[in-house]
Amino acid sequence: MSVLPQTLLIVDDDRANLESLERIFQRERIEVVTATDGKEALEVLRRRRISVCLTDLMMPGLSGIELLRAAKTVSPETEVILMTAFGTVETAVEAMKEGAWDFVTKPFKRIQIVKAVRRALDQQALVMENLALKAELQDSRRDRSIIGNSLAMRQTMDMVRQVAPSNATVLLLGESGTGKELFARAIHNASSRANRSFIALNCAALPETLLEAELFGHEKGAFTGASARRQGRFELADHGTLFLDELGEMSPQVQVKLLRVLQEGEFERVGGTQTLRVDTRIVAATNMDLKAQVEAGRFREDLFYRLNVINISLPPLRERKDDIPLLAHYFLTLYAGKNHKELVGISREAVEALLAWSWPGNVRELENAIERAVVLCRGDTITADDLPPHIREGDPERRHLTVPIGTPLEDIERMVIRETLAATRGDKKLAAQLLGIATRTIYRKI
């Protein structure tokens, strides 16, 4: 989780006191911004992100209480500490009701004011981290590493490791269920932004109006239900990585705004006029043919080329069959633990059925199949009977094997033998006859 830079705004019409406080907190290595009245302070709050506002209570024009109320509207995440020489219980209670973090009376000791500000900064940092976590951890399941040792996976991971250290936009292409978010996380974790936020957003899950607000944030009153200003995913991912899944589902209006961020690094919140700048790396993903979408006029050509700086095609599960047993055992361990079951493994017949299936839903379909098998399993081993009926009955129409160009002959031989064994339900004699080799060769190769 990234640690966002924190800034303290000090507001006091007494310049001597203002300069004294500024020196104190500069010695504490806290970034300080000053204002001599409430109106100036409000402009600062509108222009930039302020972590804590330390303001005098009695000021001409906009008082400390009035500034507190305005700050909670303009910048609700900012914590406010009031200071006054006329501290009363009634004033303190009113300030707390209005949302003040703390209340200190003059004259105060240096250690007292520093402690109050430090506590407010810690609280504000916690609030911001929770906002980022809420966006980042929508999926409550624990994060999983990428699993697979097949040639296709090794080639894909080599590409990931090569592009991760750069700041280039990456476009992940692949069928649904191939694990695009896991690959996006792998790119983030291997980059110089790894200690910053990784924020994910499924563009197909939201209607156009809400998608725009989620991406760029919104001001109070921008639309019905916008009761306060809210940061968007681009702000939350500043100096980190923003993963945009199902990018092809974006409306033309949102595409225009996304193009501007990619080109200029700036945008406005919905309903706002202030231009914000961010340093956010984009990793996008889609299962659509974006070139076809461009030709059909449903996706902007300039945005496509801006996104398509580096594209990585993720292999479907049917092209990485060697990884199926490894993945299946991983999911078995995961869901056996979640369901408090002690399982030792998967039977040979069940593995052969898994290898025989074409997996149109890819890894996600395999995960669901194993979770179902774990729940239904009555013994200590998953059998073919525990698998979904369509998987254990096989795919009778599937008679072809796709092999990527450049696959070593040894790997091709192993794949052909495995596929043939899957088709013959493990009958090695029949598989040997189909392949035109001796049965003992089958035993030796496997």
DSSP 85-132: SS--HHHHHHHHHTT-SEEEESS--HHHHHHHHHHHHHHHHHHHHHHH
Query: Per mean pLDDT, which range of 188-197, 388-397, 411-420 is the poorest?
Result: 388-397
Q: How confident is the model at residue 137 (pLDDT cuts 50, 70, 90)?
A: very low
CA atoms within 13 A on the CB side of 290: 26
Helix axes 180-189, 151-163, angle to 10 degrees: 40
* C-alpha distances in Å from residue 97, one per residue of 10, 55, 91, 94: 21, 17, 10, 5
The answer to whether residues 156 and 303 touch, using CB atoms and an 8 Å cutoff, is no
Residue 321 · residue 334 · CB < 8 Å: no
User: 10 Å Cβ neighbour count for 270?
Assistant: 21
What pLDDT is stored for residue 134 in this prediction? Answer: 46
* pLDDT confidence of residue 441: 78
For residue 126, name the pLDDT band (cuts at 50, 70, 90).
low
Q: Could you tell me if 277 and 226 are in contact, meaning their C-beta atoms sit under 8 angstroms apart?
A: no
**CA separation for the pair 407, 175 (Å, rounded):** 21
The answer for residues whose C-beta is within 8 angstroms of residue 155's C-beta and 6 or more apart is none
Contact 434, 424 (CB under 8 A): yes
| pLDDT score for 432 | 78
| Close Cβ partners of 372 (under 8 Å, ≥ 6 residues apart) | 386, 387, 388
Residue 181: pLDDT band (50, 70, 90) is very high
pLDDT of 313 over the 90 cut: yes
Q: How far is CA 29 from CA 22, 25, 127, in A?
A: 11, 6, 21
**Lateral strand order in the sheet of 198-202:** 198-202, 241-245, 281-286, 170-173, 310-313
Predicted confidence at residue 403, as pLDDT, reads 72
Q: Decide: 30 and 6 in contact? Cβ < 8 Å.
A: yes
Q: What fold, for 318-392? A: Helicase, Ruva Protein; domain 3 (1.10.8)
The C-alpha torsion from 11 through 12 and 13 to 18, rounded to 10°, is: -110
Per-residue pLDDT, averaged over 432-438, amounts to 76
- Please work out, in degrees rounded to the nearest 5, the angle formed at the alpha carbon of residue 231 by the alpha carbons of 226 and 232: 100
Q: Say what the pLDDT of residue 127 is.
A: 66
Q: What is the pLDDT of residues 403-418, one digit of tens each?
A: 777 778 877 888 888 8
pLDDT at 395: 57
Place of tokens 């979640």: 338
User: Which one is the CATH code of 151-315: 3.30.559.10, 3.40.50.300, 3.30.479.30, 3.30.450.30?
Assistant: 3.40.50.300
- Measured CA to CA, the distance from residue 225 to residue 227 in angstroms comes to 6
Q: What is the DSSP letter of 194?
A: T
| Percentage with pLDDT > 70 across the chain | 90
Give the pLDDT confidence score for residue 87 in this predicted structure: 60
Contacts of 54 (CB under 8 A, 6+ apart): 8, 9, 10, 11, 21, 81, 83, 113, 117
Alpha-carbon span 374 to 145, nearest angstrom: 21
| Tokens at 9, concatenated | 């705004």
Mean pLDDT, the chain, integer: 85
DSSP one-letter code for 425: T
pLDDT tens sequence across 326-377: 899 889 989 999 999 988 888 888 888 999 898 988 999 999 999 999 999 9
CATH fold for the domain made of 7-134: Rossmann fold (3.40.50)
85 φ, ψ to 5°? -90, 0
Residue 295 · residue 333 · CB < 8 Å: no
Unique residue bearing structure tokens 């525990």: 386
Say yes or no: do domains 7-134 and 318-392 share a fold: no
For the chain, which residues make up each domain, given as ranges?
Answer: 7-134, 151-315, 318-392, 409-445
- Cα dihedral 23, 25, 29, 31, rounded to 10, equals -100
Q: Please say whether the beta carbons of 320 and 404 come within 8 A.
A: no
Fold classification of 409-445 (topology level): Arc Repressor Mutant, subunit A (1.10.10)
